[in-house]
Amino acid sequence: MQRGLGEMRRVLKPGEICLVVDFEPPKWGLLRPIVENHMTPMAHVNVRNYVPLLKEVGFTEIETGPTSSKLLSYVRGKAPKAK
């Protein structure tokens, strides 16, 4: 994953944004037991885990948040401006 994020950073122009949308398992409700019992590897995804990876490859202004879908969240970072 680190190589992929690094490549995204490399090809983006300064100031452009990298946006990653990923599955975010429900924390409560009827879907939670279904996800936990049938999608075990995905049941522990947390887009906040992408933050240190994006920082490590050089992205700035990193933020995470929900989308309009209950099962998707995003993380985005900006390619730093040229000095």
Smallest CA-to-CA distance from 49 within 31, 40, 62 is with 62
Q: How far apart are CA 78 and CA 6, in angstroms?
A: 13
Q: Which residue has the higher pLDDT, 1 or 64?
A: 64
- Written as one letter, the residue type at 14 is P
pLDDT (tens digit, 9 = 90+) per residue, 26-70? 665 666 656 666 655 544 567 888 999 999 999 999 999 999 987
**DSSP strand E in 1-83: where?**
17-23, 60-66, 72-78
pTM of the prediction?
0.75
